[in-house]
Each structure stands twice: as structure tokens, then as C-alpha cells.
């Protein structure tokens, strides 16, 4: 059995060692450890391997809290102390910025962190009826597999949601359409918890009654989704609180649909918005763009600081609801929304929006390459970039610094997904 000394972690939290000129990625190994491993995929320049035995353990290694860790693919770093997780993610960010973008921040921001457990207010869980495994399975997919993990509890979900897993298994397993129900989505708001059932055929009357009884007992709201995300409709109870989240520092409440993209970690989102606005420093009288604005998670807080804000988003449905959120929070006169595909940005199109003093960019994992390329001579003097992918942030940082005259003044991680390999970050760029 080959052995190796783990040098570092990659962006998927795999340990890296080397042998005979090849890089070996070892699942579950930590930096500094001496491990035995078994390769399961071999390529000319690298191998993928399973951890077999830890001969010398790292001081960062801890006992995972979740009994399903190592099988369930929802978490990748529970075996690592949370403080060491932060350090590893910070290294991934800094290494990406340098090796991909050839840039280093003038200041490394202190990491934004919060509760390590019970933070996940949104989750998409697979569902499968499997008599040989005890009836109904509900869970995340297994590690590197399409199979659904047989999870009975989940410490990264809020406790009341984790406690619903087994009752939900019993409920869904008893429905007439149990074999035609591939997934559920759970969304936790300030005043209610929603469960979206992805149904491939209609419910029977008996099914409907079972859902009503469960909703009353467990104090949840059921939605039914027969097709795509936009088809999700509230089933029961029809009256009652709607999904929303709060940004108390800005006196804001934003309503959302259970299938909308919203932040998974509400507490961390509040801290992240605060950090973003500290870096952006919006002032009354300024005109600011919020690119990839979504529901207005940054748009409305910027407006609350007195600036005039234009939110730009690719989803026409979200853009249509933006003014509603602005009116509900008494900000309609400060905010406008535009529907546009920012992945097709051009310099002429961007110039057509008018001049902006500052800009905030919060793109999906693909990043904002075309938008960065479209920044012209009258580009905003300050730009805050919120990223969920260090590789695309680094790529775009290279464009901003080498071609657009910006300096990377500061960057740091936002640990919105503890125990996972996801590296979220925030960066400040400035130009003369």
C-alpha cells in the first residue's frame, strides 16, 4: 500500500501528495499527515485516491460530529477543526489569486465566520423509495455518487429541520406517488419553513389530506412543483406567513419564493452585507450599480444608505419583483431594476446604462468575465466583488488589474458553508 506526506489541500478539500512525478489527490487526508492510500483513478499526470490509514495524524484532525460523514456528500471537511478550515480556505483564495490572476491583495481581510452548525436554511434533498433500505430515503447524494445517502439527522441543517427528516420519510413513503417524487427543497424563513415537493404526477385526495395533517402537526408549509422551479405553488396552508429574511442593520425584510436563489446562511449573509457595504461605502448622491442583483440582497441596503441604485439581473421574474421589495421597504424612489444577460455584456451596452460612481458584482460560479471586459474609460472608481468561486474571481481580478487599471486593495473569505470545500470571498478593487 503506497504512503505519502500530505502537502496541502486542493479546492475540493482533498489532500495532495506526490509520487514519481505524479500528483496524488487523497480524499479525507489533511496537510502534514502521513497516510496510506489506494488509488481508484489513474491518469498520466495525477491519481485520485481513497484514504486507507492515517499513520501520523495532523493536529487539525477532529472527530466528525455527523454519523453520516464520509458517506453523505453534503460535507467534505468535518474531520478538520473549524479554525483550520478557515486557514485552508484562505490559502485557496490567495493561491488562486496569484496562480490564476497573478495578483495579490494589498490587505488580507479577516475571515467572516459564524455558527459552524445549524446554519443551512436552504437544502435540496434527493428522495427515493427503496424497500431494501427501509422504505423511503431522503438526503444529500453520497460522496462522489448519484446514490442518495441514508441520512437520519443532519447537524448543518437547523435542528427543527433535521428533526423533520425521519417524519418526512414516513410521510412521503406512504404517498401514492412515492415513486414519482424525486426531490424536495426546504427553505427556512423568519416566520415559516417551506417544503417543496417535486411531483411527477398529481396527488390523490388521500395524499393531500396526509400533507395537510403533517403540515398542521409540524408547522410547515407545503408547496407543489409539477415542472420547473417557476411552477411551484403554495398548497397548504394557503393563508399565513410568507417566506422572508431580515437585514436588521438596514431595517429591511425581503420576501422570497422557496425556489428562488437566496443565501443559504442567513446569519452569515447579514455579516457579509455589512462587510460589502463597509468596503463599498455608499454615500448620498452617488449612483451605484448592483450587478447580478437577484432579489436585491445588496441593492436595498445600498439604497438605505442614501445612494441611487440600479439593480441588474438576468432573471426577468426577479427583476419584476424587485420594485415590490423596494416599495415594501419604502425605497422605491432610490432603486431601479433592469433585466439583462450580464454574460453578454459589451462596453457600449454598459455605457448605455449611464455613469456609475461605484459598482458591486455578485455573480454565480461562472464569474463576471464579460462584464469586467466591458468596463470602459468611465468605469466606477470603486468595485466590490462578492464571489462564490475563487478561480473565476482570480481570473476576473487579472482582467481588472492588468487591463482596466484597478488595484486589488483587499480580499478575504466569507465562510458561508462551514465543513464544505466551498470558498466564498469578497474583494475590493479601486482605480484613480
Element (H, E) at 91: helix 82-99
Asked if residue 394 and residue 306 are part of one domain, the reply reads yes
CATH number at residue 156: 2.40.50.1070
H/E element, 398: helix 390-402
Same domain, 223 and 290: no
- pTM, full prediction: 0.94
What total number of domains does the chain contain?
3
Q: Phi and psi at residue 169, in whole multiples of 5°?
A: -60, -45
Domain boundary among the residues 187, 221, 236 is at 236
Strand partners, 49: 26, 39
Residue 108 in contact with residue 410, Cβ under 8 Å? yes
Give me the mean pLDDT over the 245-266 stretch.
93
- Domain end among 220, 236, 252: 236
Q: Write down the pLDDT at residue 132.
A: 64
What is the average pLDDT value for the chain, to the nearest integer?
95
Active site positions, annotated: 388
Give the residue among 86, 21, 30 at the shortest CA–CA distance from 56. Answer: 30
Residue 57 lies in a domain: yes
Q: Is the pLDDT of residue 134 over 60?
A: no
Residue 370: pLDDT band with limits 50, 70, 90:
very high
- Assess whether 111 and 126 both reside in one domain: no
Looking at the structure, do residues 97 and 226 belong to the same domain, yes or no?
no
Who's near 206: CB < 8 A, 6+ residues apart? 176
What CATH number does the domain containing 96 carry? 3.40.50.150
**Upper half-sphere CA count for residue 350 (Cβ side, 13 Å):** 23
Which whole number is the average pLDDT over 335-352? 97
Q: In this structure, is the dihedral angle defined by the CA atoms of residues 142, 148, 153 and 155, taken in order, positive or negative?
A: positive
**Structural domain includes residue 253:** no
Q: Is 205 helix (H, G, I), strand (E, B) or coil?
A: helix
Side-chain half-sphere exposure of 191, counting CA atoms within 13 A: 11
Give CA–CA dist 380/210, Å, rounded: 56
Residue 1 belongs to domain spanning? 1-61
**Least confidently predicted of 186-200, 258-272, 372-386, 406-420:** 258-272
Q: Which of the two residues, 180 and 143, has the higher pLDDT score?
A: 180
The whole-number pLDDT of residue 255 equals 94
- Does residue 286 belong to any structural domain of this protein? yes
Opening angle at CA 75, ends 69 and 81, nearest 5? 85
Which residue, 221, 236, 251, sits at the end of a domain?
A: 236
Q: Does residue 336 sit in the same domain as residue 368?
A: yes
* One domain for residues 105 and 162: no
Tell me what pLDDT residue 184 has.
97
CATH code for the domain of 3: 2.40.50.140
State whether 308 and 391 are in the same domain.
Answer: yes
d(CA 75, CA 82): 13
> Which of left, alpha, beta for 373 (phi over 0: left; psi -120 to 50: alpha)?
alpha
Q: Identify whether 301 is part of a domain.
A: yes
Grid cell listed for 282: 455608499
For 248, which DSSP code? G
Residue 215 forms part of a structural domain = yes
DSSP code of 33?
A: -
Q: What distance in Å separates the CA atoms of residue 265 and residue 253, rounded to the nearest whole number?
A: 16
- Residue 181 resides in a domain: yes
Percentage above 90 pLDDT, the chain: 94
Angle at 11 between CA 9 and CA 13, to 5 degrees: 50
- The confidence score (pLDDT) of residue 221 equals 98
pLDDT digits (tens, 9 = 90+) for 48-85: 999 999 999 999 999 999 999 999 999 999 999 999 99
If asked whether residues 22 and 107 sit together in one domain, one would say no
Asked whether residue 249 is assigned to any structural domain, the reply reads no
Tell me the Ramachandran region of residue 391: left when phi exceeds 0, alpha when psi lies from -120 to 50, beta otherwise.
Answer: alpha
What residue has cell string 446514490? 147
Backbone angles phi, psi at 170, to 5 degrees: -65, -45
> In angstroms, rounded to a whole number, what is the distance separating the alpha carbons of residues 349 and 370?
12
* pLDDT at residue 133, as a whole number: 57
Residue-wise pLDDT for 159-207, tens only, equals 999 999 999 999 999 999 999 999 999 999 999 999 999 999 999 999 9
| Shared-domain flag, residues 317 and 421 | yes
* pLDDT bracket for residue 432 (50, 70, 90): confident
Q: Are 382 and 230 in contact (CB under 8 A)?
A: no
**Both 296 and 426 in a single domain?**
yes
Q: What pLDDT is stored for residue 258 in this prediction?
A: 94
Cβ atoms 215, 239 nearer than 8 A = no
Residues 101 and 138 in one domain: no
Same domain? 111 vs 128: no
Residue 217 pLDDT grade (very low, low, confident, very high; cuts 50, 70, 90): very high
User: Would you say residue 72 lies in a domain?
Assistant: no
Cβ neighbors of 200 (< 8 A, separation 6 or more) are: 177, 180, 181, 182, 226
Predicted pLDDT at 19:
94
Amino acid at each position: 500500500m503506497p504512503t505519502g506526506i500530505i502537502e496541502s489541500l486542493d479546492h475540493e478539500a482533498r489532500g495532495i501528495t506526490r509520487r514519481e512525478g505524479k500528483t496524488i489527490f487523497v480524499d479525507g487526508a489533511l496537510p502534514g499527515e502521513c497516510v496510506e492510500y489506494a488509488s481508484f483513478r489513474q491518469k498520466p499526470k495525477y491519481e485520485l485516491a481513497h484514504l486507507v490509514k492515517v499513520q501520523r495524524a495532523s493536529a487539525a484532525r477532529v472527530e466528525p460530529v455527523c454519523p453520516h460523514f464520509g458517506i453523505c456528500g453534503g460535507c467534505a471537511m468535518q474531520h478538520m477543526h473549524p479554525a483550520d478550515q478557515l486557514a485552508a480556505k484562505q490559502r485557496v483564495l490567495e493561491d488562486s489569486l496569484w496562480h490564476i490572476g497573478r495578483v495579490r491583495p494589498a490587505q488580507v481581510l479577516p475571515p467572516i465566520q459564524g455558527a459552524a452548525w445549524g446554519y443551512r436554511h436552504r437544502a435540496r434533498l434527493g428522495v427515493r423509495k427503496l424497500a431494501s433500505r427501509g422504505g423511503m430515503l431522503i438526503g444529500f447524494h453520497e460522496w462522489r455518487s448519484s446514490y442518495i445517502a441514508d441520512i437520519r439527522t443532519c447537524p448543518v441543517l437547523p435542528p427543527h429541520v433535521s428533526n423533520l427528516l425521519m417524519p418526512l420519510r414516513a410521510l412521503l413513503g406512504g404517498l401514492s406517488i412515492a415513486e414519482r417524487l424525486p426531490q424536495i427543497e426546504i427553505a427556512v424563513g423568519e416566520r415559516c419553513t417551506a417544503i417543496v415537493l417535486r411531483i411527477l404526477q398529481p396527488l390523490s385526495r388521500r395524499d393531500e389530506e396526509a400533507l395537510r395533517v403533517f403540515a398542521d402537526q409540524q408547522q410547515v408549509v407545503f408547496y407543489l412543483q409539477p415542472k420547473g422551479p417557476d411552477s411551484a405553488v403554495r398548497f397548504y396552508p394557503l393563508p399565513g406567513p410568507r417566506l422572508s429574511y431580515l437585514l436588521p442593520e438596514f431595517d429591511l425584510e425581503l420576501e422570497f419564493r422557496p425556489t428562488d436563489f437566496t443565501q443559504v446562511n442567513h446569519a452569515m449573509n447579514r455579516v457579509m452585507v455589512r462587510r460589502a457595504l463597509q468596503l463599498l461605502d455608499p454615500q448620498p448622491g452617488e449612483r451605484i450599480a448592483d450587478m447580478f442583483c437577484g432579489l436585491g440582497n445588496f441593492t436595498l441596503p445600498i439604497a438605505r444608505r442614501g445612494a441611487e441604485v440600479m439593480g441588474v439581473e438576468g432573471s426577468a421574474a426577479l427583476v419584476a419583483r424587485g420594485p415590490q421589495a423596494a416599495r415594501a421597504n419604502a425605497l422605491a424612489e432610490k432603486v431601479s431594476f433592469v433585466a439583462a444577460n450580464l454574460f453578454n455584456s459589451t462596453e457600449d451596452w454598459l455605457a448605455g446604462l449611464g455613469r456609475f460612481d461605484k459598482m458591486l458584482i455578485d455573480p454565480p460560479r461562472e464569474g463576471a468575465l464579460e462584464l469586467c471586459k466591458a468596463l470602459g474609460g468611465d468605469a466606477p472608481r470603486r468595485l466590490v466583488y462578492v464571489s462564490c468561486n475563487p478561480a473565476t474571481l482570480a481570473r476576473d481580478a487579472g482582467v481588472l488589474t492588468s487591463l482596466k487599471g484597478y488595484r486589488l486593495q483587499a480580499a478575504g473569505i466569507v465562510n458561508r458553508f462551514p465543513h464544505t470545500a466551498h470558498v466564498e470571498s469578497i474583494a475590493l478593487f479601486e482605480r484613480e
